[in-house]
Structure 1
């Protein structure tokens, strides 16, 4: 099957402006740097919108329904909306470019936040839940923006580019919760329920993030990188390593990258979700819980620049193994640390965040390495669907494990599960069989056998 984005009849007829980027490595480098700057700005806004809404979503649902049993619904709806939107954002990006695809996700998230505000005003639970589902599109766009910086990056820059987008999210994620009280007072002053105040900030932040990408992310990095890759194949002037990357989809690489991300996301979400409950059972105050989770979130994003350099210089698979080892240490520490020890709990959750960071960045880089630009965004969108669902599953199952067994059993289970990353990485180092590589129609028309990895390529 010929991918819709691979137009062999038009691939040789590029517009003058696009041909300029194909012919000039200097222009490619300039566009790469410009893309990173725009992504950093949009991610600051995106992180603000994401954190501001999530902070009070559960409280708003509880207030409108009058029961604590509804507190978990907003997170579930956000996750479900994020998973569905990840698929759509990936396909829109593949068809129209990164700018329009990511902007659509952020703008939809902004509209969802507006819907939440209206739902609070008219006290409509149905509108609230529908709007939270749409609001999840902003989360999907915020996560997929990390891929955009890799489009024009060299193989030695890709993880660093991912890390720049991720660390930028941290600034917004820290600012959002700290503005909750301010936005609550502002909302009250204009006749809007106080708990809906942060969603005013979320709406503005998501819409600004979308507009930044839609207006300034030009020329589109995905369109340019696809044209460059096509031209390299056509002219047969690409070097051996680049030719291998641009002419094949390495299915083994895709599966390994996704598996690393999914495992780390599952373990992180499971332990993080139940840590506040565990602390509450042992008399820790809300402020102490917030401190532990704050350290955890910081550890998830702040090490990104260092992780990016490690992945690019030391290697993808080595960092992935480090992710498993770090998560193992986190799970063991969380399981055996005295419940009244704030220091040890903070250490456990910091290790949990760092392990997740290692896994997400190394897994992302593996996926980029394994795909051609002509279908890369679509595959990345499919990968992020599994990422979102794994987090939701981990969070949901964690409650059942703690209810029937204990927090220690949950943590030990997460530690053991993280070890699965090691055999996956060992498997990835084996020689790639011909069945694990799907060649593009330009080079070969041989159909591939159905497999699990076809989920990503079709």
Structure 2
């Protein structure tokens, strides 16, 4: 037996257990994303209406999503650092636990009429969204080589079931809340709190993901991953054409999606649409966000992330154009616009995240992921807050016009990458 053959047989026993561990951890990530999807969507489906009712000012409904997204933004970098120090599963558990606490705060404060505490609770609630988004990067870390985008998309796809079911459960949660004496629209957060507490237990007790910093150190042969600052990594990536495209794909797509989505329930209820139908439209939107994610992941691995980003940009533009002309009570155009909004977000986020992961040095990858998610959520929080003002001044058409303008930097970055690619081919 040759030494090569001997080494081959010595390695064989280790390969199957490695594949099994990867499969188990990916399966647990999928289960947890399902739970997180239910938790986020059940509460946030009606959060803007809750805040509008509590304040008596419809334009302030955007503060609900703004507070939630801002909470996700503030927590993105700390969660990334926690993933480096203690493991992705610890960061996920911490994020889901924060959402469970936030749900409790919202229920207690809304029942007492304490609007500022409701906003604080929504900020804590939003941390679960940051954890759920960072789970997509955890999927790439347990993926087999060459299947990173597909693994990421499977974890995002798992959110489909929970996120579609969540808004549909909102009406049931509302009825339950009323039956136990809670104010209208508060009951869904009771269900969200229970679901997030369950997700916390799953992440803490069953998930066992490696420290993100150790993965980067293994890739580089040094422990430099923990010494690179998040914003230092962000600036370096933004100075590169492909890195800039990846960052803008994530940030612009999320900003457009949040800005339009958060005002849709307020726009529809203002035209007499029932809460049940609003929940149905939000479910269609979330189905668009996550339902086609395996296809987007497969495309990113096969044709490259930049092409998937371009596809996302075209779909987002189609959505905003339809939204400009959609009456608030149209159960054809509004669901179509919101479905395309989610689908475009899916393509841009998966393409951008895959490009972000592949175009930077492993030593800076985790820090950059945290900084990009923070930037994405800060921009989306501003979009959610301003969209209420835009809705009041220019209507739903104005909200979609502003969303279209947000796509301009993404288009510019995409054209720059295309010109650079053509220049390289020509030379």
Q: Same fold (TM over 0.5)?
A: yes
Give the conservation status (yes or no) of the 8 Å contact 2:52–2:58: yes
| 3-state SS in 2 of match to 1:149 | helix
Q: Supply the distance in 2 between the matched residues of 1:163 and 1:278 (Cα, whole angstroms).
A: 31
Distance 2:388 2:113 in 1: 30
Is 1:225 the counterpart of 2:221? The answer is no
Q: Are 2:280 and 1:308 aligned?
A: no
Partner secondary structure for residue 371 of structure 2: helix
Task: Give the Cα separation in 2 of the matches to 1:182 and 1:280.
Answer: 18
> Which residue pairs with 1:423 in the alignment?
412
The residue number in structure 1 matching 2:244 is 255
Measure how far apart 1:209 and its partner are.
1.3
5+ residue gaps in structure 2? 1-9, 224-235, 422-427
Partner-residue secondary structure (3-state), 2:141: coil
CA distance in 1, matches of 2:361, 2:23: 21
Counterpart of 2:381?
A: 392
Please say if residues 168 and 276 of structure 2, whose CA atoms lie closer than 8 Å, have aligned partners that are also in contact: no
Comparing 23-32 and 361-370, the one that deviates more: 23-32
The answer for the alignment partner of 1:333 in structure 2 is 322
Shift of 1:278: 5.2
Work out which of the residue numbers 374, 396, 400 in structure 2 matches 1:411: 400
> Residues 269-280 of structure 1: matches in 2 within 5 Å?
269-276=258-265
CA distance in 2, matches of 1:124, 1:275: 25
Describe the shift of the 1:106–1:58 C-alpha distance in structure 2 as closer, same or farther (beyond 3 A). same
Query: What is aligned with 1:128?
Result: 118
Deviation at 1:39, TM superposition (A): 0.6
CA contact (8 A) 2:167 2:280 kept: no
**Matches of 2:278 and 2:349, distance apart in 1:** 25
The gaps in structure 1 that reach 5 residues or longer are 1-19, 234-247, 432-458
Distance in 1 (CA, whole Å) between partners of 2:191 and 2:325 is 40
Offset at residue 411 of structure 1 (A) = 3.2
Q: CA deviation at 1:424?
A: 1.2
Q: Distance in 2 between matches of 1:314 and 1:42?
A: 29
- 1:145 paired with 2:135, answer yes
Distance in 2 of aligned mates of 1:195 and 1:413: 29
Q: Are 2:250 and 1:267 equivalent residues in the alignment?
A: no
- After superposition, give the CA deviation of every residue in 1:273-314 in whole Å (9 maximum; x if it has no partner): 444555567665655544443322211111111111111111
Q: Is the 8 A contact 2:42 2:191 kept in 1?
A: yes
Partner of 1:362: 351
Q: Determine the structure 2 residue equivalent to 1:92.
A: 82
Deviation of the 1:202 alpha carbon: 1.5
Q: Which residue of 2 aligns with 1:376?
A: 365
Change in CA separation of 1:410 and 1:35 when aligned onto 2, cut-off 3 Å:
same
1:220-271, CA deviations, whole angstroms, 9 ceiling, x for partnerless residues?
26366335414599xxxxxxxxxxxxxx979624332111111112222333
Q: Deviations over 1:394-453 (max 9, x none)?
A: 33344444544454455355445435434313433538xxxxxxxxxxxxxxxxxxxxxx
The counterpart of 2:102, out of the listed 86, 109, 112, is 112
Deviations 1:338-377 (A, max 9, x none): 7775434433332222111110111111111134444433
Q: Is the 8 A contact 1:35 1:221 kept in 2?
A: no
Q: Is the 8 A contact 1:327 1:356 kept in 2?
A: yes
Which residue does the alignment assign to 2:308?
Answer: 319
Q: How far, CA to CA, are the matches of 1:362 and 1:264 in structure 2?
A: 11
CA separation of 1:113 and 1:279: change in aligned 2, threshold 3 A: closer
CA apart distance, 1:38: 0.9
Please identify, of 387-396 and 408-417, the stretch whose mean Cα deviation from structure 2 is larger.
408-417
**Cα separation, 2, equivalents of 1:339 and 1:115:** 32
Q: Does 1:55 align with 2:22?
A: no
The residue number in structure 1 matching 2:337 is 348
Take 1:201 and 1:337, find their aligned partners in 2: how far apart are those partners?
Answer: 32
Among candidates 145, 156, 160, match of residue 170 of structure 1? 160
| CA deviation after TM superposition for structure 1 residue 181, in Å | 4.2
Cα distance change of structure 1 residues 99 and 130 upon mapping to structure 2, 3 Å threshold: same
What TM-score, normalized by structure 2, do the two folds share? 0.80
Say whether 1:207 aligns with 2:172. Answer: no
State the Cα distance separating 1:58 from its structure 2 match. Answer: 3.9
CA root-mean-square deviation: 3.4
Residue 161 (structure 1) aligns with: 151
Structure (1/2) with the larger helix percentage: 2
SS at match of 2:332: helix
Aligned partner of residue 50 in structure 1, secondary structure: helix
SS of aligned partner of 1:255: helix
User: Number of matched residues?
Assistant: 398
Three-state SS of the structure 1 residue aligned to 2:259 is: helix
Question: SS at the partner of 1:163?
Answer: helix
1:116–1:127 Cα contact (<8 Å) kept: yes
Cα distance in 2, alignment partners of residues 103 and 66 from structure 1: 36
Which one is further off, 336-345 or 74-83? 336-345
